[in-house]
Structures are given as structure tokens and as C-alpha cells.
Amino acid sequence: MRFISNILLTSLVVIAGNSVTAQETGSDNITESDRLKITAIEMLMSAPAERALPLVARVLSANHSDAVKSRALFILSQIELPEAQTLLLETARNGSPELKLHAIRMIGIGGDTDTLAALADLYKNGDRDIKASVLRAYLIADDSGAVHAVAANATSDEEFEAAVQTLSAMGATKELRQLGDRGAASASLIRAYAISEDLEALNKLVLDESNPETQLQAIQGIGIIGGDEANASLMEIYRGAGREEIRKAALHGMLVAGHEEGVVELFRASQDATEKRELLHLLMNMDSDAALDIISATLESDQ
């Protein structure tokens, strides 16, 4: 058992326990009797694993409230014994609706490899709440491989998007790229590339002309990333654009990224009056001081 000593341990119980119990077990209405039982369960954190496990198992099999059993599940997640993992998984499969979700979360906190692997069947056969809870457990355990498997085998756009969002939150660049390599590029995946600042993946999508809509979304993602490298990509995309919608998307990306220096550079290099007007409008929309300087210089040249 990962017994962390006393003060830190008690804090961990309060944070992990209260954050879930109030939301998932209706613990706003906990009785004084239950509060005493919960305190007793919390004290097991400093007990030897072999002594704590039978007591926790007894709590789970007895006629206690879900609030009490939820705390027992947290203790189980901290016990490094196979029997503890078995009890967690059994509760995740056969507990009350609230305890199922809580047990799945505790499996994520515990991080046991075999128990996490067993969640795949729960996900496959579970309802929306179960699926969401399993993804959260994978996120807590930083199991990006399991989330990638969910995305790769998703049977609906909703499932795929939820898994991609989880991978994005994990910063799982490799797994997100693998999904793109399988031809699974979608709006949710492109957003994930932007959130994880994977400029390389977005540039690759921009170069693929087989899906014009994906190209435009990827350019928007580059604008969201911003920064020197992204700005340089937007400039290159603009200058090499073979279609008007690509050029406009690159300009919008510069607006999102706040790359006014690039717009000024394009304005000064342009010999086309229509293009210069468009770029000047963009600078005004960016609330750029340079726009006023350009306006002043333009008026003077007209004189």
C-alpha cells in the first residue's frame, strides 16, 4: 500500500473523496452516523494493507450508504494488493450506478495496469456515463494507448470526438498523429492538434489538397497555435496559395494569431491595390498602430 504519512494522507482523502462524493453519491445529506463511519475508513490509510483490506471489503459487502462505500473505494485504490484491484473491478461491474462510476475513477487513481486494461470491456458494453468515466480514468492514469484504442475503434462521431479530446488533454501527440495517418482527420482531431500545438501535423494537412475543407480547418488551427513558427507557416501558406479560400484562411489565421507584423510586410510588398485594401482592413480589425501609420503614408503619397 502506498501509505503516505498522516497529514498529507488525510488531505488526499478529503480532496479525492469530497470532490466525488458530493457530486456522485448525494453526500450533501450524509447522516452523522455515516460521517463517523467515513472518518473510521479514512483512518485505515495509515494501517497496514493486510489489516485494512478485510475491513474495507466488509464495508463494501455490508448495507452501508454509497457515500460510505465511496470512501472505502478510495482506500482500495491505494492498496497494492491483487485482492484490492479485484474488489474495485467487481464494484465497477456490479455496484450501484453511482458506485460503478466512482470505482472506475478509483481504478484510474490506482493506476494498476491489469485493472486498467479490464476497463476496455466496461467501456465497450457501457452506457454514455460509463464510457465517459472510463475515459476519465485513462486520463488520470495517463494511459494514452487505451484512449487511442477507443478512438481507433469508435463507432460514432461522438465517441471519436470524446476520445480525441481526452488525448488532447493528455498531450498525446503521437497517438493523435496516428489517428490522422489512418485517414481519420476530422474537425475534432484538428482542434486537438491546435490545442496540443502540433504545428507539424497541421502543416501536413494543409499540404494535402484531397480535402479542401480539412485544409481550411488546419490553417485555422495554425492561427490558434500562434507564435513565430506558426506565423511563418501562415505567411508561407498565403504566399503560395493557389486558391482564394486558402489565402483568406491564412489571413484569418494571422488575425487570430495577432500577427500584424506579417500583414504589414505583405501590405508593403504588394503591388495590387485590391490586395492592399484588404490587408489594410485586416490591420484595422487587428487594432494595429501600424494601420494608422500606413493610412498616413498612403494619404501623403496621394497628395
Do 66 and 38 touch, CB atoms closer than 8 A? no
pLDDT at 295: 79
Is the entire prediction scored with pTM above 0.85?
Answer: no
Least confident of 6-15, 174-183, 188-197, 234-243: 6-15
Query: What CATH number labels 1-137?
Result: 1.25.40
186-192 contacts at long range (C-beta below 8 A, 24 or more positions apart): 186/157, 186/160, 186/161, 187/217, 188/160, 188/161, 188/164, 189/164, 190/214, 190/217, 190/218, 190/220, 190/221, 191/221, 192/164, 192/165, 192/167, 192/168
pLDDT at 302: 53
Residue range(s) occupied by CATH 1.25.40 in the chain:
1-137
User: For residue 239, is pLDDT > 90?
Assistant: yes
CA distance 167 to 170: 5
Rank 16-20, 179-183, 277-281 by mean pLDDT and report only the highest: 277-281
Q: What is the mean pLDDT of residues 213-231?
A: 95
pLDDT at 183: 63
Q: What is the mean pLDDT of residues 134-156?
A: 95
What is residue 2's three-state secondary structure?
Answer: coil
Query: pLDDT averaged over the chain?
Result: 87
- DSSP 8-state class, residue 287: T
Q: What is the mean pLDDT of residues 97-126?
A: 95
pLDDT at 28: 57
Q: What is the mean pLDDT of residues 176-199?
A: 85
pLDDT at 284: 86
Residue 25 has which C-alpha cell? 453519491
% of the chain residues with pLDDT over 90: 72
